[in-house]
Amino acid sequence: MSIRATEQRETAAGEIVGAGGAATGVAATGGNGFYPNGRPVKKIDGTTVRMETEGLTVRYGVSTFGIQDVSMPVFDRSVTALIGPSGCGKSTFLRALNRMHDLGVDIEVTGAAILDGENIYEPQVDAVTIRRRIGMVFQKPTPFPTKSIYENVCAGLRLVGMRRKNVLDEAVEKALTDAALWDEVKDRLRSPGGSLSGGQQQRLCIARALAVEPEVLLMDEPTSSLDPNATMRIEQLIQQLKEQVTIVIVTHNMQQAARVSDYTAFFYVGEMVEISRTQQIFSSPREERTQEYLSGTFS
């Protein structure tokens, strides 16, 4: 399958499911093919579109475009890799998917990022709720270094007012287990987050992101500072997580993109050039620029 930005609206429009066309994997629909706001669930080639951007543009200051007019789907419970040269807008796009740019100064975001049929940039949508539903893991592990491992994982839950110890205990164990870290830290939950190794800290950050049970997880080069063993653990984790969570990952490692992702989107100079199934993009990309990038003959 290949999904070009110019074609995807047509394709998507042709494959919108109606009543009775249950969208597997989308809890929010109640299984009748519609979101609670009445919008129909979209499918492309039979796969549910969990998020979709339409003409998403991010401008830094007056003149620098981080991304320009990006329209692409993010498929439910799958891994989408974002690839492309440095400075081409991958991180900018990722941050726009959970309204992280709201926190920056002099950044203008236009267009739409639609989650479950609702544009997250609509004024009535609460950005904090969006960031709970759409979690983020950054390139460098960012635990609270002096807070305990336990408190690091709880941070998001405390923010939403969860206080009961037994509930927190359970959530911490589950998140650390899901992040493949529980066995290594279960006897030292009161140690500071900063006492863990880099790879463990990154898994701690993943546990922190998972604790609030996000529906979408955004990962910006999550293994770029890790050794091969820690990288492998995180890649395995991504494979397990996609059973429950929709994942978008930025990577400069083409082997990693090929190993972990179902779909790959190629970014170049602020534009999303093409998105296809990963297998296809690596074997026969449609666009010359993608071909050149993948073959290393990029000028």
| Residues at the site binding ligand ATP, with contacts judged by CB under 6 A | 60, 64, 66, 84, 86-92
Q: How far is the CB of 61 from ligand ATP (least distance, A)?
A: 6
CA distance 110 to 87: 20
Q: Specify which residues 275 forms β-bridges with.
A: 3, 265
Please, are residues 278 and 265 in contact by the beta-carbon 8 Å criterion? no
Please, are residues 121 and 113 in contact by the beta-carbon 8 Å criterion? yes
SS3 31: coil
Of the listed pieces 84-92, 110-118, 191-199, 224-232, which binds Mg ion according to CB under 5 A? 84-92
φ, ψ of residue 160 to 5 degrees: the values are -95, 15
- Residue 60, contacted partner among Mg ion, ligand ATP, none, CB below 5-8 A by kind: ligand ATP
Q: How far is the CB of 250 from Mg ion (least distance, A)?
A: 6
Residue 55 or 87: which CB sits closer to ligand ATP? 87
Residue 34 or 263: which CB sits closer to ligand ATP? 263
Q: How far is the CB of 139 from ligand ATP (least distance, A)?
A: 8
Please, are residues 112 and 56 in contact by the beta-carbon 8 Å criterion? yes
- Residue 249, contacted partner among ligand ATP, Mg ion, none, CB below 5-8 A by kind: none
Residue 35 or 267: which CB sits closer to ligand ATP? 267
Give the other-Cβ count within 10 Å of 162's Cβ.
14
Tokens of 43: 């499918």
Q: How far is the CB of 266 from ligand ATP (least distance, A)?
A: 11
CA distance 225 to 218: 17
Q: Which residues of 4-22 are buried (b: 16+ CB within 10 A; e: fewer)?
A: bbeebeebbeeeebeeeee
Residue 66 or 73: which CB sits closer to ligand ATP? 66
Please, are residues 69 and 272 in contact by the beta-carbon 8 Å criterion? no
Q: How far is the CB of 148 from ligand ATP (least distance, A)?
A: 31
**Among residues 222, 25, 27, 217, which one has the least CA distance to residue 132?**
217
| Chain position whose Cβ is nearest to Mg ion | 91
CA distance 159 to 231: 30
Residue 1 or 103: which CB sits closer to ligand ATP? 103
Q: How far is the CB of 127 from ligand ATP (least distance, A)?
A: 18
Choose, by CB under 5 A, the member of 91, 201, 246, 256 that binds Mg ion: 91
Residue 106 or 187: which CB sits closer to ligand ATP? 106
Q: How many CA atoms lie within 13 A of 121 on its CB side?
A: 22
- Residue 88, contacted partner among Mg ion, ligand ATP, none, CB below 5-8 A by kind: ligand ATP
- Residue 89, contacted partner among ligand ATP, Mg ion, none, CB below 5-8 A by kind: ligand ATP
Q: How far is the CB of 117 from Mg ion (least distance, A)?
A: 29
Task: Give the footprint of Mg ion on this chain (CB under 5 A).
Answer: 91
